[in-house]
Structure 1
Amino acid sequence: MTFRNRLIAGFSAILLLITIFSAIVYYLGNTLDTKVDNIVNDRYTKVRLGEKILANASQIQNQINLTTLNPSMKAVDQRDLLLLSSQIHEDFTHLDDLTRLTEGKTFLKKARESFSVYEVATQKTTALVNESSGLNDNARLMSVYNLEMVRKAFADDMGQYIDFQEDVMMTTSNNAKASIERSKLIIVGFWLLLVFLALLIGSNVMRGALRSINRISSVMDDFEAGHHGALPRITIEEKDEISDIAVAYNRMADALEERENREKLYQQELETENWIKTNLAEVASIYQDNRDMTALSEKLLSKIVPLVGASCASLYVMDHSSETPMYVRSGTYAWDIRSDAQSSFVHGEGLVGQCAKEAKLLSLRVPENYIRVFSGTGSAQPEHLLLLPICHNTEVIAVLELASFQPVEGGGMTLLSEITNHSLGTSIRNLQYQKHVEQLFSESQTYNEELQVQSEELLQQQEALRSLNERLEEQVKISEMNSRYKSEFLANMSHELRTPLNSILVLAQILRENKDGNMSSKQCEYAETMVMSGNQLLNLINDILDLSKIEAGQMTLLEESFPLQEPIQELNHQFLPMMDRKGLTFNLLMAEELKAMSVSLDKQRLLQILRNLLSNALKFTESGSVTLRVYIHEEDPFTLGFEVTDTGIGISQEHQLGIFEAFRQVESNTSRKFGGTGLGLAISQELASLMGGSITVRSSLHAGSTFLLTLPVEGTYCARLPESAAALEIAPLHVHMSEQTFSILLVDDDMRNIYSLSAVLEEYNYRVICAANGEEALSMLETQEIDLVLMDIMMPDMDGYEAMRVIRQSPVFGKIPIIALTAKAMKEDRDLCIEAGADDYISKPVRLDKLLSIIQVWLPGRNSS
């Protein structure tokens, strides 16, 4: 039986004994419980019901006695007597059901018959008592007395029943006590039996288990720590769980022996691998230390042959110097130099050539009289011959031949395989390449000597070029610095010139309007002259800035699509009144197909060029006519021509080449008749070049001049406009007086500008509040209601940029419209103003109509009339 089964059988027997013991205890307890229940619930209930019947019968007697003896009570209450009688009958019925013993039923029947007699007597006595009156009624008293006698007879009979039940109850109680004592003896005896059997079963199970465990323990005690021989095994006598442990131990012993064997094998392989790697490293050092093929071969064979247990060897290396590549012996080990063995082989010749041809190892038995190994003590013939191909990139470049007395196996063969398949081929090919490079190097020495002279000459030329480049770089840096200084100077001068010019033009325009009508015609003429002179000065400043932007490469074009007729009409509106005042005829010729066409050009730069050409024609023509002709170029359909012809003084041939230079004029003497700066044509030519076109001139002295502007346009320039566009005219701007009074904060540090602009704005019903710098402007915004801010940029303490940034950060007045005013007119000025927080931008000198128009655009709730 297995140990598991023995444990199960032992525990099952113990469990069975415990179950039997529990059943006996339960049975005895249940029997005692039944007897106690019989005593308490049966006998006691019967006694209690008998006593209750006696009590109710006594209560009937008491009520009758009380009525008889109490004069105030005239009759007995029949209802109470009926209720008590009814209760007594119910109790008798209940007792009859509970009583099982014959003797008890006899006593109960007798008591019930006595009660029936008593009940009849009660009815008779009650009737007699209720009918008679007075205390001395002898019949009444006698009847009550007789009733009492009947009740006592009933009480005696009922008492016998009660005594019988009490005797039975006492007997049952005594029997229960005796049963309890017997149950105690049974339980103690059975418990002792249970303990004895449990000890017996446990002892049997433990003896079997300990016997098997001791057998295993004795075997394990025989096992020595660090034992490397055969491990002891446990003999299995019977099949149980302890024997499973023995089987597991035997398996463990088998596994340990197998692991020990694997570790020995692994240790041998590891030692072999370390041996191979160590020798490979030593062989690699031979590759590095030798740069000659013969020396490399000799040292390599001296290293390899003893390692693999060979006796003699030779190495054959491919030689490409001859017409047919051959494998030539380059080194030997213990070789018989007196033999007539062949020293070179072609591909496929002999065993060496065949090994190279097949590119695989050849292992052969050496026949008699093939080769002998000599020493001082004698000679012998080796038995084994081994040939190995040495490859580089799948090409056999050498063959290693070994002769040995014993076959090369194990680590020696692995070492040969590693050497021949990897490092040796690469080293041999590197030596061959090195030898070839040395040969080429020797040949190149002659060429190098010839090239050295040429190199020296080139170095001299390079040095000269380097010096020239350095001077050019310095000139470029100087030019860039001058351009930057020039731009900064022109920007600052523009600001300094525009600031006073702004005041002059504003005040001159106010005087020219003569709204009060108190100026004479001469004074109006003076005011007109002031406006004209100021505009001429402004044009001069603009020309200088444009020329500076062009020279600095900062001029940008803004292309837009517009009807070609628009700029032509604008020029007609501008120059026709001036031509009329001078008595000249102004002819405007435009091809019919161009009147409804659109082009993509920089419209403002086109107008600037044509204004310069027309202004020159107007200036240098005393009589006759000026003609502007617009047409499509005859040779190129995507080129527009703008031709300005006048009947003026003309230009001589020698002056025509210089008129497009800056500050060059037709009249260069001090008594010249016609004014001008000489910048217009220079700027126009540069602008035309930026737009991809050109300006040419045809002229002769005293015969007028023709200036031709040609501009390339996109292929879609001829897209037709609606017919109504042909008659498009530019309506003049009318600035209306404001019906509502708005507050404008004017921020400027120049009192001339404050005076002139305040005067103009107040005439248009604006309330002007002035501030000299950014800090004052912020103070005014915090204390007063402001609808719009005119912000100058260049101011002391806090300039306009910083002031606008602070305003935009305010949660109270951060949304107020701001128009930036600046005398600078460089390209980046507008972008800087908008970035700082300005809503719009206008440069000085300020055109009043433009300023008033912008103000109306940005004022809140502005009039649209």
Structure 2
Amino acid sequence: MMGKNRFGIRSKIMIGYMFIIVCLTISFVLVNFQVTSMQKDRNYIIEHDFAVHNETNRIEKYVMDMESGQRGYLLTGILSYLEPYNLGESKWRESYSRLSQLTRDNIIQEQNLSSIKASIERWLQQSGGNSVSSMKNNVNNETYYDYNFLLGKQIIDDIRSQLDRFRSVEMGLTKQRAAHLDAQNQMLTKSLFVMLAIVLIFSIAASILISRSIVGTIKQVTRSIMNLSSSKRDRSKRIHVTINDEVRDLAEATNVLLENQEEMEWQQRKLTEVVHMLQGISDLETLGKSFISKAAELFDASFGLLYLRSSYEGKESMVKLASYAVMGGSEGIGVHHFQLGEGLVGQCAVEKRMFHLTKVPDSYITLASGLGTAKAQSVLIVPILHNKEVIAVMELASFDKFTPLQLELLEDILEVLGTIVHSVQTRVEVERLLKEYQIMTEELQTQQEELHMTNEQLEEQNRYAEVRSRELENIKASFEEHAIQLQQSSQYKSEFLANMSHELRTPLNSVLILSQMLQENKQGSLTKEEQEYARVIHSSGNDLLHLINDILDLSKVEAGKLDIHVCEMNVSELPDILRSQFAKVAEQQNLTFSIVRDAQVPDIFYTDEQRLSQIIKNLLSNAFKFTHKGSVQVNLGMCSEEQIREFLPLAKHKQVLAISVKDTGIGISPEKQQLIFEPFRQADGTTNRKYGGTGLGLSISRELARLLGGRVTMQSEEGVGSSFTLYVPSLEQAFNETESMQKEAAAATSPMISDFLLRDAYKKAADPAERNNFSGRKVLVVDDDVRNVFALSNAFEKEGILVSVAHNGQECLEIMKKDQDIDLILMDIMMPVMDGYEAMRMIRKDTRFEKVPIIALTAKAMKQDRDICLQAGASDYISKPLNLSQLLSLMRVWLTK
């Protein structure tokens, strides 16, 4: 489309601009040259002519100075008058030399200057010098002086005349040079106007030519585009352009647009003809014949076949529906049916794409007429789709190749044809179904009577189903009521255990305190035997306390109310702790007790140290209980990744500590190995069993391990021994979160001492110097149990504490009104008249006692007791039975604070 000698609009515009730029550049160069020349002449006038005039004036000045100096000296005889004379005589030659240099290019001025020099020298020789020397020699000849004055004046007048002529000549030269500058300036102005006229003429001519070549074609394009929107439009006209530039590209693009528009209108017109032709056809055969004939006309085809998708001999196939220009009987040319994927027709139906064959073999198909036969040049096999499914396939053959315009028209027709074919198929199917419906209606009428009978039977069955439904609802209500009863039973059980804990711990509290005081025998009034009795009583009380704690722990676990407190556990101290607790037991039973710690076990491990120690103690207690000879061994190690995947799959990326307790005891038979983890169950559960215990240890250990995120496994062989292994993961993340929350809570609940600081205080009894800080301190014990009051009073009085006693909250308030110097209050919770909660609230309302430490005492030891006590106003909380050393440590902390 583009010629070799393409001269685009951009090139034209660039050449025009370049021409203007070149003209302006030439003008600038010429103007600059002329201005430079004029500047040079102007500088010459300024520098040369002014210098000539200046030097001429200086020579005249020097001559006048010499004359006046000579005259003054001759008249007065004073030597100071000779200074101008002497200066002028020495300077006029310098000015003459400079003036000679300035006028050396002008012969006339050189001659004039030589005459001036001769006149000055003659004056100096005849008048100036002689007069002065004669005066100095005291020659007194007035006639001589008069003569010299007259002669000198005449010469001076000549010098002035000569200098005036010299200046006049120089002034004339200056005017000539100025006139020459004026002529150059006029020439420059004329040149500028000429160059501007040339640039304007060429610029206007170039703009006219370029705009004419652009605007003319654009007008033609505009007219053609306007014709597109007019109702009476002529698409046959084309735009003709002789120039080879972008305007020609625009014209050719417009011509292509006109051709495309003409083709689109032709396609739309033909598509409309096809749609109108196929409207109203109600059977597939008529539709197929009509369409294949119209397709042959539109696409210049000499042969055509239309296949419809349907079932043939039980298989999905493409069955011939209609043909065009078929010869050879009713079947004619063409296969009657194709299975899907069979031949090009079947493959076209599978792949849903068009096959356009342009290199047809000679033996493929021959098209015939009355005049002869010839082979096809092009074959077209196209799918007809509806909802992306092939419902028909058309095959066309032609002497010529199918053009792109025909193929585009074919695509438009196929989009509509699929909907039309499907519509006709649907109409045929509806008619078929209508006929079947009529037949079925007749059959249904005959079956209605039978259904009537069946309905009566169904009604009977529905009545029976309703009865069964009501029974199921009753059963469901019974189950729900049973569930509520179970929940209430669990609640009653928890409350019962809490109350039993209180009832058991209250007398046990005084037993433990008094037995501990007797065992310590600080006054030395008991014999060793009596001390041993006290020790046995204290030990039995502790055993009873442990049993109560086990029952409560099991109750809390079952109720889901047992909390864990994650902290930093020093694993390196664990072996020493276990040895201190069980070494004596091993020695008494003549057993080997060893603890092995793997080097990979870290010194610090994050878990609930109390619960972990409780599990290990339970396992060791069982091991020593059921082992008569041999050994008990504790192994501390870390789990491998395989063990973690096997035993604790949820602890994927955590450290897992494995603590195993292995013994050489009696072992457990296989049938009883699962029973031992059930509460209150033992391998030997008879009343005359050899080994004692309640059977709670392993059950509690299993539940505590589960709370810690771990598990307990067992391997045992009867008569050989058992091995229990505790797998527990590190809870470092939970520790960090808890520690952060505790710090925030500690800051928010000031002035209460935070929980972890109190735990540290329990673990530390104070320096000996601090042990006597109870002396003289007033402590009010509020408890309705006289046994506890008796035990605590005796213990406190031995520490030097002044003890006051109240048996309920009301008495406590009355005592505090009378004695406002109470240093600390021990407040029992469950009391008659006014319980501890109400008493603490009343105390905190009084501003005088808002800072008095109150330690709450309770034997219920349930999960929520501590929070309720602190909310009621307690400074701290401790459960019964009391550990006297722990209680004194806690009191010391609060009294110190």
Shift of the alpha carbon at 1:205? 6.8
The match for 2:114 is 109
CA contact (8 A) 2:306 2:392 kept: no
The match for 1:86 is 90
Structure 1 residues 96 and 549: CA distance shift in structure 2, 3 A? closer
1:229 aligns with 2:260: no
Q: In the alignment, residue 590 of structure 1 is paired with which amino acid? A: Q
Correspondence for 1:488 among 488, 495, 502? 495
The match for 1:590 is 589
CA RMSD between the two structures: 7.9
Correspondence for 2:769 among 719, 729, 738? 738
Worse overlay, 468-477 or 598-607? 598-607
- Counterparts of 1:235 and 1:249, CA distance in 2: 11
The match for 2:140 is 138
Q: In the alignment, residue 63 of structure 2 is paired with which amino acid? A: A
Correspondence for 1:685 among 686, 692, 695? 695
Structure 1 residues 187 and 267: CA distance shift in structure 2, 3 A? same
Q: Which has the larger radius of gyration?
A: 1
Matches within 5 A, 1:65-80: 65-67=71-73, 69-70=75-76, 73=78, 75-76=79-80
Structure 1 residues 44 and 485: CA distance shift in structure 2, 3 A? same
Q: In the alignment, residue 837 of structure 2 is paired with which amino acid? A: P
1:55 aligns with 2:96: no
In the alignment of these two chains, the number of paired residues is: 659
CA contact (8 A) 2:220 2:239 kept: yes
Q: In the alignment, residue 97 of structure 1 is paired with which amino acid? A: Q
The match for 1:263 is 264
CA contact (8 A) 1:492 1:824 kept: yes
Q: In the alignment, residue 750 of structure 1 is paired with which amino acid? A: V
CA contact (8 A) 1:508 1:528 kept: no
- Counterparts of 1:56 and 1:35, CA distance in 2: 31
Matches within 5 A, 1:504-583: 506=513, 543-544=547-548, 546-547=550-551, 549-550=553-554, 553=558, 570=584
Alpha-carbon displacement from aligned partner over 1:67-120 (angstroms, at most 9, x marks no partner): 55557x5x4587765443221110111122222433433332232233334445
The match for 1:581 is none
Alpha-carbon displacement from aligned partner over 1:640-672 (angstroms, at most 9, x marks no partner): 2499xxxxxxxxxxxxxxx999xx9999xxxxx
- Counterparts of 2:115 and 2:392, CA distance in 1: 143
Gaps of 5+ in 2: 295-304, 323-329, 347-363, 369-380, 396-408, 441-446, 565-570, 598-611, 632-660, 669-679, 703-717, 728-763, 813-821, 830-834, 845-850
Q: What SS does the corresponding residue of 2:57 show, helix, strand or coil?
A: helix
Correspondence for 2:629 among 628, 631, 635? 631
The match for 1:640 is 665
The match for 2:782 is 750
The match for 1:697 is none
Q: What SS does the corresponding residue of 1:713 show, helix, strand or coil?
A: strand
- Counterparts of 2:276 and 2:562, CA distance in 1: 80
- Counterparts of 1:684 and 1:13, CA distance in 2: 117
Percentage of matched positions with identical amino acids = 21
CA contact (8 A) 2:779 2:824 kept: no
CA contact (8 A) 1:314 1:400 kept: yes
Q: In the alignment, residue 161 of structure 1 is paired with which amino acid? A: Q
Correspondence for 2:837 among 760, 776, 796? 796
Alpha-carbon displacement from aligned partner over 1:298-341 (angstroms, at most 9, x marks no partner): 97668767666799999984566xxxx999x9x999xxxxxxx9
CA contact (8 A) 1:43 1:168 kept: no
Q: In the alignment, residue 769 of structure 2 is paired with which amino acid? A: S
Q: In the alignment, residue 90 of structure 1 is paired with which amino acid? A: E
Q: In the alignment, residue 738 of structure 1 is paired with which amino acid? A: A
1:95 aligns with 2:96: no
Q: In the alignment, residue 84 of structure 1 is paired with which amino acid? A: G
Alpha-carbon displacement from aligned partner over 1:230-263 (angstroms, at most 9, x marks no partner): 4545666xx65xx757734641442132221342
CA contact (8 A) 1:216 1:246 kept: yes
- Counterparts of 1:506 and 1:14, CA distance in 2: 117
Shift of the alpha carbon at 1:168? 1.5
Shift of the alpha carbon at 1:568? 5.8
Shift of the alpha carbon at 1:138? 2.7
Structure 1 residues 606 and 716: CA distance shift in structure 2, 3 A? closer
CA contact (8 A) 2:288 2:321 kept: no
Q: What SS does the corresponding residue of 2:881 show, helix, strand or coil?
A: coil
CA contact (8 A) 2:591 2:628 kept: no
Structure 1 residues 488 and 746: CA distance shift in structure 2, 3 A? farther
- Counterparts of 2:14 and 2:615, CA distance in 1: 111
Structure 1 residues 99 and 843: CA distance shift in structure 2, 3 A? same
Q: In the alignment, residue 109 of structure 1 is paired with which amino acid? A: S
Q: In the alignment, residue 796 of structure 1 is paired with which amino acid? A: Y
Shift of the alpha carbon at 1:164? 1.7
Q: What SS does the corresponding residue of 1:738 show, helix, strand or coil?
A: helix
Q: In the alignment, residue 106 of structure 1 is paired with which amino acid? A: Q
Alpha-carbon displacement from aligned partner over 1:449-508 (angstroms, at most 9, x marks no partner): 999999999999998788667645543442332222322343255357646864676477
Matches within 5 A, 1:808-847: 823-826=859-862, 843-847=879-883
Matches within 5 A, 1:83-232: 83-100=87-104, 101-120=106-125, 122-130=128-136, 132=138, 138-139=140-141, 148-149=149-150, 151-172=152-173, 175=176, 225=227, 226=230, 228-232=233-237
- Counterparts of 1:606 and 1:244, CA distance in 2: 101
Matches within 5 A, 1:289-300: none
- Counterparts of 2:274 and 2:802, CA distance in 1: 103
- Counterparts of 1:22 and 1:357, CA distance in 2: 85
- Counterparts of 1:356 and 1:366, CA distance in 2: 27
- Counterparts of 1:502 and 1:476, CA distance in 2: 38
Q: In the alignment, residue 481 of structure 1 is paired with which amino acid? A: Q
Worse overlay, 216-225 or 122-131? 216-225
The match for 1:705 is none
CA contact (8 A) 1:600 1:714 kept: no
- Counterparts of 1:257 and 1:84, CA distance in 2: 103
TM norm structure 1? 0.51
CA contact (8 A) 1:818 1:839 kept: yes
- Counterparts of 1:179 and 1:200, CA distance in 2: 32
The match for 1:623 is none
Alpha-carbon displacement from aligned partner over 1:768-825 (angstroms, at most 9, x marks no partner): 999999xx9xxxxxxxxx999999999536979xx9xxxxxxxxx9xxx999965443
TM norm structure 2? 0.50
CA contact (8 A) 2:778 2:803 kept: yes
Shift of the alpha carbon at 1:630? 2.2
Alpha-carbon displacement from aligned partner over 1:739-766 (angstroms, at most 9, x marks no partner): 5765899998836889976875685589
CA contact (8 A) 2:780 2:804 kept: no
CA contact (8 A) 2:666 2:720 kept: yes
Structure 1 residues 189 and 743: CA distance shift in structure 2, 3 A? same
- Counterparts of 2:210 and 2:628, CA distance in 1: 127
Q: In the alignment, residue 684 of structure 1 is paired with which amino acid? A: T
CA contact (8 A) 1:638 1:713 kept: yes
The match for 1:848 is 884
Structure 1 residues 770 and 233: CA distance shift in structure 2, 3 A? farther
Shift of the alpha carbon at 1:846? 1.9
- Counterparts of 1:747 and 1:170, CA distance in 2: 133
Alpha-carbon displacement from aligned partner over 1:662-705 (angstroms, at most 9, x marks no partner): xx9999xxxxxxxxxx9x9996234366669xxxxxxxxxxxxx
